[in-house]
Structure 1
Amino acid sequence: MRIFRVASVSPRISPSSQNVSSNIAGALQEHINSPSPKSGKKIHANIIKSGFIPNLNISIKLLILHLKCGSLSYARLVFDELPKPTLSAYNYMISGYLKHGFVKECLLLVQRMAYSGEKADGYTLSMVLKASSTKLASTMTILQRSLCRLVHARIIKCDVELDDVLITALVDAYVKTGKLECARTVFETMKDENVVCSTSMISGYMNQGFVEDAEEIFNATRVKDIVVYNAMVEGFSRSAETAKRGVEMYISLQRVGFHPNISSFASVIGACSVLTAHEVGQQVHAQVVKSGVYTHIKMGSSLLDMYAKCGGIDDARRVFDQMGEKNVFSWTSMIDGYGKNGNPEEALKLFARMKEFDIQPNDVTFLGALSACSHSGLVDKGYEIFESMQRDYSMKPKMEHYACMVDLMGRAGDLRKALEFVRAMPERPNSDVWAALLSSCRVHGDVDLASIAANELFKLNADKRPGAYIALSNVLASAGKWENVSEIRQVMKARKIPKTIGRSWIGAENAQ
């Protein structure tokens, strides 16, 4: 569909024609600059009706106008009418697709640009890098997955200047695709310090557990901002070994003059959850209230999850009830919190109330509800919830849900029924499912079923489940079959399977 014809060669243009073009271009620019550019579309309609042939300048402005209005289809029509799209036209259209999440269309246009002979500049390549690190569909091609390295090769081959925008995009793309060594190589080529690149490197290292490398980058960054501090707090907060340092980093960012923002609070609250540091969490809670971001749904969800994991279920419920807005994560955290803190009845009440508020549960919500049924011995209720996943919500149960159902039946003593359930599964049971059955057999002392579950478990991953050997050994020991116990111990010794050492942690800072 042709919407107008762009003049590819300018014939003799009368002064009046020049004035018309100048007026149209000026009017379009005013609409582009305004906060509500949609009214500028009327100019495009008048151009079409009048038969006026716009020049390249007007066409580019029309393209920008439609992109700013979010009308990608109209923008593409304008683009396709250009006799020979310029580099700026390509860049505007590619940027528009990327901004609105149309990654495939963005990359196809880049491909067309390459075939046309138009040379990409640094801005074009930075957008391709952003596209390469975007979460694409599972059907993403090998070419798309290797875009980062292809773009880097193009930069070197064509001697494209590595400005701040391009080098930041290149480092970020390498980090997001997990190529930290390549990212570090590019990072080291920077002439001037770039805190954005530093933050990207820190996040990449923290995501893969390279805490020392992240600290090295952080310490070498002379001019720090709140974002780079937040990256450190978030990274430290992910494991019990470093969570305390996350709290310390949170304190440090305030000592140097930064005020915590939502990301800071969410990360340090996560650290309190890992550490089960109830008192520290309360102090952070007080800061959140004073900061004015308390009403933010992310804050409420983080706080109630932290209190639930610290055993302060009443505090969690107070936060939950005070939240002006709740989402599925808020409800799920509260349900899971009740289940893990010995109040499965309240967890199931909340699960039922979700329907009243039109909140659709997700797979984690169902896990919390099934776990509550398991701890309450409500087998029939568990079946009802499990079947409602597909019947009412069209959700396919995952292995975790099947394992939870096996645990539910096993706790209730229905071991044969649990085995039938496992064998009737539409997919091959994984190790978690068999481990749940073996655990129930240990509780009820069923040697025969324990042997079946253990054998299936060993077939899947014999060397990664030391607990399975111990569980089977305990079942046999309870039945007085000491010869079999000895055989299992010998197998563990021959396969160099260590016995996991149990540990308990208590807070002893104020101990006398």
Structure 2
Amino acid sequence: MPQPTLTAYNYLIAGYTKHGEVRESLNLVRRLVSCNEKPDGYTFSMILKASSSDQIISIGRAIGKEVHAQIVKSYVVVDDVLSTALVDSYVKSGRVDYARRVFDLMIEKDVVSSTSMISGYMRQGCVENAEHVFKKTIKKDVVVFNAMIEGYSKSVDTANKAIKVYISMQRLDFKPNMSTFASIIGACSLLSAFEVGQQVQGQLMKTNFATTIKMESALVDMYSKFGRIEDARKVFDEMPVKNVFSWTSMIDGYGKNGDPSEALALFNQMQNVYHVRPNHVTFLGAISACGHAGLVDKGLEIFEMMKKDYGMKPHMEHYACMVDLLGRAGRLNEALQFIMSISEKPNSDVWAALVNSCRIHGDVEMASIAANELFKISKDGSRSGAYVGLSNTLADAGRWDSVSDIRELMKTRNILKNMGSSWF
């Protein structure tokens, strides 16, 4: 075309964006502007959609604000489509406060913008704000219900609400989809709600989602967390195709339910028989299983395998797990040396693992060293268990004067012992 029109640019920008060619679509916008064409509302909505892409999410926040400024300067009429794109862009870049300002200015708040706001609030833990938006959404669909269920399912404090919304949506004749089932199964896992989980599985079996890897892996994870390891294995064995998540859930389930030997057998099988590459969580489950079985050398071997054979950099969770592995076996000096060898600054989980091990083996001196390091990191008292652990270790050793000093320190720092709780 000797002189492409704005419409032609818009079609091509939309096409590239739809097919994931985000950078090419942004380059076209630059060409459009350099040719003295003025973007319209549709162009801006496409730019915002592109800026929300995972490919450029790191610079999406800057693009979203810049586009918003250009919209204002260009006197473009902001319709519902453009407003929704702005809300979604701000939410995905973490600026829920900006998203809310745009959302409040919308004359008709559609279900898409409401869903974006709910998801944004839930990710930031602003549950009441999400609930307010949900209640004000007049025309609801499955997606907006899913946003609530997914948000609630992330915390044990709100997981019961996820089940209530799940029931409510079906009473209103909305049929659960794959995302619904994934979230509600997660909520059941958090609550250890075995009977509800079975009912959800019963409903799932009547759908076309039942035989998907995602759903079957979620069921394996759910039954493992219920302690129903045989039910988990039954689902696992009947899976026609398994991925790293299903293998990891089964390995972790065996490790946490008192069968570390089976966990390690599966870990070996997934690599050498099925040639599935483990991820960071798989290695965490395998090392943890070694700790429960007292297989220190095997745990060290797996830790080295993760680094050398798979080129994975250990996370702090892996370091803490290794300290727990060595500590459980009474190899406290090795555990301390291991901590000292970590190239990064050890976090509170690493030192807490050593404190717990010292309590098991009654090593007061080592417990004091670990606890002091932990106190430096957690001055806000977020690891109250460390104070209690050191106090109990000193008490077991008959060092009552030192116990009094720790209790006094807890009072001074306003640190309270975590209260016990029960589902019954």
342, 359, 370: which one aligns with 2:276: 359
**1:146 and 2:62 matched:** yes
Amino acid aligned to 1:381: K
User: What corresponds to 1:243 in structure 2?
Assistant: 159
483, 496, 512: which one aligns with 2:414: 496
Helix, strand or coil for the counterpart of 2:176? coil
CA distances 1:67-119 after superposition (whole Å, capped 9, x unpaired): xxxxxxxxxxxxxxxx5443234334433443344434443443343333221
26, 33, 55: which one aligns with 1:107: 26
User: What corresponds to 1:33 in structure 2?
Assistant: none
User: What corresponds to 1:116 in structure 2?
Assistant: 35
- TM-score for both structures, normalised by structure 1: 0.79
Helix, strand or coil for the counterpart of 1:291? coil
Task: Give aligned-pair identity as a percent.
Answer: 61
CA contact (8 A) 2:103 2:109 kept: no
Amino acid aligned to 2:384: P
Q: How does 1:229-308 map to 2 (within 5 A)?
A: 229-308=145-224
Shift of 1:130: 1.8
- TM-score for both structures, normalised by structure 2: 0.95
**1:86 and 2:2 matched:** no
C-alpha distance in structure 2 between counterparts of 1:437 and 1:137, whole Å: 41
Amino acid aligned to 1:385: I
CA contact (8 A) 2:88 2:99 kept: yes
CA contact (8 A) 1:167 1:186 kept: yes
Which consecutive unaligned segments of at least 5 residues does structure 2 have?
A: none
Helix, strand or coil for the counterpart of 1:338? helix
**1:209 and 2:125 matched:** yes
C-alpha distance in structure 1 between counterparts of 2:11 and 2:355, whole Å: 60
Q: How does 1:375-414 map to 2 (within 5 A)?
A: 375-414=292-331
C-alpha distance in structure 2 between counterparts of 1:105 and 1:403, whole Å: 44
Deviating more after overlay: 350-359 vs 157-166: 157-166
Amino acid aligned to 1:481: R
Stretches (4+) displaced over 6 A: none
CA contact (8 A) 1:301 1:330 kept: yes
User: What corresponds to 1:444 in structure 2?
Assistant: 361
C-alpha distance in structure 1 between counterparts of 2:320 and 2:290, whole Å: 13
Deviating more after overlay: 104-113 vs 300-309: 104-113
10, 21, 44: which one aligns with 1:125: 44
74, 98, 103: which one aligns with 1:158: 74
C-alpha distance in structure 2 between counterparts of 1:428 and 1:101, whole Å: 39
C-alpha distance in structure 1 between counterparts of 2:93 and 2:416, whole Å: 35
CA contact (8 A) 2:88 2:116 kept: yes
Helix, strand or coil for the counterpart of 1:258? coil
User: What corresponds to 2:93 in structure 1?
Assistant: 177
Which consecutive unaligned segments of at least 5 residues does structure 1 have?
A: 1-55, 57-82, 507-512
Shift of 1:137: 5.9
442, 460, 463: which one aligns with 2:377: 460
Amino acid aligned to 1:120: P
Amino acid aligned to 2:401: E
**1:484 and 2:402 matched:** yes
Amino acid aligned to 1:354: M
User: What corresponds to 2:242 in structure 1?
Assistant: 326
CA distances 1:188-217 after superposition (whole Å, capped 9, x unpaired): 222234111111111112222222222222
Q: Which has the higher contact order (CA 8 A, sep 6+)?
A: 2
C-alpha distance in structure 2 between counterparts of 1:438 and 1:102, whole Å: 51
Shift of 1:229: 1.5
C-alpha distance in structure 1 between counterparts of 2:16 and 2:377, whole Å: 45
CA contact (8 A) 1:278 1:312 kept: no
**1:348 and 2:267 matched:** no
Q: 1:137 to 1:430 in 2, by over 3 A?
A: farther
CA distances 1:221-276 after superposition (whole Å, capped 9, x unpaired): 22211111121221222212221121111111111112221112111111111111
C-alpha distance in structure 2 between counterparts of 1:382 and 1:267, whole Å: 33
Amino acid aligned to 1:402: Y
Deviating more after overlay: 98-107 vs 396-405: 98-107
CA distances 1:386-408 after superposition (whole Å, capped 9, x unpaired): 11012211111111111111100
Q: How many residues matched? A: 422
C-alpha distance in structure 1 between counterparts of 2:289 and 2:112, whole Å: 44
Helix, strand or coil for the counterpart of 1:505? coil
C-alpha distance in structure 2 between counterparts of 1:424 and 1:258, whole Å: 55
